[in-house]
Amino acid sequence: MERRCFMKTISAGAASLALHRLGFAETDKALRLNIILIVADDLGYGDLGCYGQTKIQTPHIDRLAAEGMRFTNHYTGSPVCAPARCSLMTGLHTGHCTVRDDQAKAGGERKLVPLSPDDTTIASLLKGREYMTGAIGAWGLGNPGTSGTPQKHGFRWFFGCLDPVHARDCYTDYLLRDHVRVSLKGNMGGKKEQYTPDLWAEDALEFVRLYDKEDNTPFFLYLPLTLPGGECVVPDDAPYASENWSQRDKNYAAAITRLDRDVGGIMALLKEKGMEDNTIVFFTSDNGPNPPFIESFNSAGGLRGGKRSLYEGGIRVPMIVRWPGKVPAGKVSDFPWAFWDFLPTAAELAGLQPPKGIDGMSVVPTLLGKEQTPHEHLYWEFYDPFHQAVRMGDWKGVRFGTEEPLELYNLSTDPAEKNNVAAQHTEIVKNIAGIMAEAHTDSPHWPVVGKADGVGKADGVGGADVGRK
């Protein structure tokens, strides 16, 4: 593992303030905090036992929640993969970030928009703080030769797929190790002997094993995994083979339990290496569930909508954070925060000042069990179909097109967004419409729509989102 230092100049005052808040002296060795961020693919709010799932076994993730903090009002950056991960990496919501949908439409052809050279990611910040930075799995923010590859945005270790559609092929015949193509001979000629999610899980363990505690060089490991997304291809459907379910449902449940096993492997290795106390683990999902599983497993947890929807089922996702001795064990928090808060949070954990002009804020006080003032509002926009959403306190506004009526829901009494109360609260509707106008910045790739063709089509009632991210 490369150990060269790429020290970045930071504000000494900001760093000292961050360390003081964490309870560290600036020279304390405990400062060298490792950060692991695990992101599941298309895992719904209700797909884990600790979030109410009764059919699918997730003992390791449930234990993670019991030993850490579980959030009930955490949100992804977008209801699909690429913009969600862009928001996660850059600290910007989808009204400002570079990638705002999984693909732009250009003459009917698929066009992937990469991160720009000007985008600052959490990895580039942590790399400057002497962190070893690794990404393993599905990148989705820039194909080879573009400005959006992991190496151009702070990652010194990469193993996986860049293109999101390629990442869905669980038996692909090649992966990328940094810039180098690695052939998977076990999958050539139609063979299926090397399952990519398993290869990524093994590589993650190798990354952690290379950590040298005495050297005191910390690491940031980003795991954008592909389970249980897409067609839910799995080597076998254990432990659900004997269930009286459809094969599709067996595979979905098996994919989640396999993901759970991989999380358990990482946690066991941290314990084995004596690294639990100086490693903080974040576990979440990139967006809500694919529609077919909403009914089978209550994957959206009773919330309205699913993947590709800005209703709660598409954007409210699990978030579990574990850091023994710092994050209160077993606590359930209703504090509302979102993917764009991860960058400033991780920056503070590393003693860094985040870039100016981002949308996120550090939630370190909340993680440490302290009181914190939440965002005045959270904002999303999505383009297939075009719609916008705002959460302001307990109020949630959704609008399909800038010239369309705005729907309003009170999440404290109506979390499933069944009762549109816009007509009874015209001033709140006006305030949310103002936020929608102010939070959006124009993009050449993502034009807003006045009259959206798609009103009512984002409820998560369509077919599986197969072959797309």
Rounded to whole angstroms, the Cα distance separating 313 from 317 reads: 8
pLDDT at residue 72, rounded to an integer: 98
What would the pLDDT profile of 437-453 be if each residue is shown by its tens digit? 999 999 999 889 998 76
Q: In the predicted model, is pLDDT for residue 465 greater than 90? A: no
Environment class of residue 343 by beta-carbon count within 10 Å: exposed (0-12), middle (13-18) or buried (19+)?
A: buried
Q: Is residue 404 part of a domain?
A: no
pLDDT at residue 215, rounded to an integer: 75
Give the mean pLDDT of the chain.
90
Q: Is residue 401 part of a domain?
A: no
Q: In the predicted model, is pLDDT for residue 15 greater than 60? A: no
Nearest C-alpha neighbor of 207 from the set 37, 396, 360, 444 = 37
Rounded to whole angstroms, the Cα distance separating 5 from 129 reads: 8
What would the pLDDT profile of 31-84 be if each residue is shown by its tens digit? 489 999 999 999 999 999 999 999 999 999 999 999 999 999 999 999 999 999
Q: In the predicted model, is pLDDT for residue 391 greater than 80? A: yes
Q: Is residue 26 part of a domain?
A: yes
Rounded to whole angstroms, the Cα distance separating 43 from 294 reads: 11
Q: Is residue 315 part of a domain?
A: yes
pLDDT band at 464 (very low <50, low <70, confident <90, very high): very low
Q: Is residue 440 part of a domain?
A: no
What would the pLDDT profile of 353-368 be if each residue is shown by its tens digit? 999 999 999 999 999 9
Q: Is residue 266 part of a domain?
A: yes
Q: In the predicted model, is pLDDT for residue 420 greater than 50? A: yes
Place of tokens 């254990």: 238
Environment class of residue 190 by beta-carbon count within 10 Å: exposed (0-12), middle (13-18) or buried (19+)?
A: exposed
Q: Is residue 400 part of a domain?
A: no
pLDDT band at 216 (very low <50, low <70, confident <90, very high): confident
Task: Give residue 273's domain range.
Answer: 12-376
CATH number at residue 137: 3.40.720.10
pLDDT at residue 457, rounded to an integer: 54
Q: What does the pLDDT average to over 390-414?
A: 97
Q: In the predicted model, is pLDDT for residue 106 greater than 80? A: no
Number of H helices, E strands in the chain: 12, 18
What would the pLDDT profile of 169-185 be if each residue is shown by its tens digit? 999 999 999 999 999 99
Secondary structure of 201-231 in HEC code, one letter for each residue: HHHHHHHHHCCCCCCCCCEEEEEECCCCCCC
In this prediction the pTM is: 0.92
DSSP strand pairing (180-183 vs 337-338)? unpaired
Single-letter residue type at 207: F
- Residue 189 tokens, joined: 């000629």
Q: Who has greater pLDDT, 231 or 381?
A: 381
Environment class of residue 300 by beta-carbon count within 10 Å: exposed (0-12), middle (13-18) or buried (19+)?
A: buried
Q: Is residue 288 part of a domain?
A: yes
When divided into structural domains, the chain yields a total of 1
Q: Who has greater pLDDT, 15 or 8?
A: 15
Q: What does the pLDDT average to over 258-285?
A: 97
pLDDT at residue 107, rounded to an integer: 53
